[in-house]
Amino acid sequence: MTKLGPNEKLYPVVKIATVVDALRDEGVPPRDALAGIHLSETQLTSPAVKVSANQVIESYRNAIRLSRNPHFAYQTGLRFHVSTYGMYGFAILSSTDFRRTMVFAVEYHQLAAPLVDVQFLEQDKVAVWTMTPLPFPQVDAPLYKFIIELQAGVHVSLHRDVMGHSFGASELHFAFGRPRGAKNDVEVFGCPALYGQPENKFLFDLNWLNGTPNLGNEVTYSETLQLCDKLLTELKLNTGMAGKVREIFLTSLGQPTSFELVAGRLKMSPRTLRRKLEQEGTSFRELIDELRAHAAIKYVRDTDLTIEDIAHALGFSDAAAFRHAFRRWTKSAPHEYRRARIDIEPASSKIAPSRGQPEAPAGPFANRNCRDFCSVAFGRN
């Protein structure tokens, strides 16, 4: 999956519009639901408007603050349908084989403006979706829970669109702790839910995959697949100079990568590259810092590796330097952030954007062990 920056405006506005509509049904004025997002109400219906991951995240943060419904995220997820996702959704609807639908959904998931990475597999008699929030520094414990519950609702709704209204999950696994005062899980989700699990999972009976799609059409699927290929190519091209720098950096994991070397790979002078990145509102240092932050957050949050091992693999001089950088990225110490995997109490402060020089004097990802370590963090083989 192409790695996009949280500020790149590349996605349709539909996710934000859906959250605003759900809040409106609770009596929340759109101007309040759009606070801090820098969008007008009229822009929510414009196909020309593109938004960033940060804007979507801010709309979720507003929902956490404004909604009185403890299950707002899951129920809002149920409002999403295949039609929400344009050509990506149309391809899902027109597939003639449910197993192929699952493969397509994963391969082209970037077109869905994702805040989560999804994987699908079959285990014995159960089909399993694994859902992992992308490691943006802004995603604290309440946002983590919101994103996963919303995604669970989306999964239910999209499966019902293609498999029939009687579809339901057999079990949900959540990595966060059980909310205080939570209602009966079966009443809320339609199935049992397990909390404090190693991964967030959406499980359903494997027999659902043996059915025949009612709206499948091979010709239509082939045509929409070609259109999705074009959309995915355009998305990669529209990531701009920042996207090209990220790609070069990720292909050079484990090797010292200087600004001059990257400029040379792009066949331009350092001065030209600096100017182009400034035009996109970023810099080489910020991009490196962003990538290191994402790797650090993923491994603190999703693994049991020691802080010392993570610091060493990311090229920090020592664990203290890593802890300092991690606190700058997340406003939390690593051990506090790790504990948030099972603690859903709200954080006390908003995450500040990371800026400035990375702390590790050896240079980002300079350690030779970092290639294997970070290739997992960024989904590279």
pLDDT of residue 353: 38
Single out the residue of 55, 83, 58, 14 nearest to residue 146, CA to CA. 58
* Bridge pairing between strands 50-51 and 11-12: antiparallel
Does the pLDDT value for residue 8 go beyond 70?
Answer: yes
Q: How far is residue 259's CA from residue 239's CA, in Å, rounded to a whole number? A: 19
Q: How far is residue 207's CA from residue 381's CA, in Å, rounded to a whole number? A: 32
Single out the residue of 91, 102, 217, 231 nearest to residue 155, CA to CA. 102
Q: How far is residue 185's CA from residue 208's CA, in Å, rounded to a whole number? A: 22
Contact 28, 66 (CB under 8 A): yes
pLDDT in tens, 122-140: 998 999 999 999 888 888 9
- % of the chain with per-residue pLDDT over 70: 85
pLDDT in tens, 251-264: 665 456 788 988 99
Q: How far is residue 253's CA from residue 131's CA, in Å, rounded to a whole number? A: 25
Q: Which structural domains are found in the chain, ordered by start?
A: 69-234 (no CATH), 240-377 (1.10.10.60)
Strands (E) across 61-137 are located at 116-123, 126-133
Contact 53, 60 (CB under 8 A): no
Does the pLDDT value for residue 368 go beyond 60?
Answer: no
pLDDT of residue 4: 64
DSSP reduced 3-state for 128: strand
Q: Report which secondary-structure segment, H or E, holds 318.
A: none
- Which residue type occupies 264? G
Q: How many CB atoms lie within 10 A of CB 339?
A: 12
Give this prediction's pTM. Answer: 0.73
pLDDT in tens, 225-251: 999 998 887 776 667 788 788 777 766
CA angle 72, 36, 292 (to 5 degrees): 90
**Does residue 212 or residue 373 have the better pLDDT?**
212
Does the pLDDT value for residue 266 go beyond 50?
Answer: yes
pLDDT in tens, 106-118: 999 988 888 999 9
Single out the residue of 354, 303, 346 nearest to residue 6, CA to CA. 354
What's the pLDDT band for 351 if we cut at 50, 70, 90? very low
pLDDT in tens, 298-334: 888 888 888 988 887 777 888 999 999 999 998 889 9
Contact 308, 263 (CB under 8 A): no
Strand partners, 202: 129, 172
pLDDT of residue 365: 37
DSSP reduced 3-state for 190: coil
pLDDT in tens, 53-110: 999 999 999 999 999 999 999 999 999 999 999 899 999 999 999 999 999 999 999 8
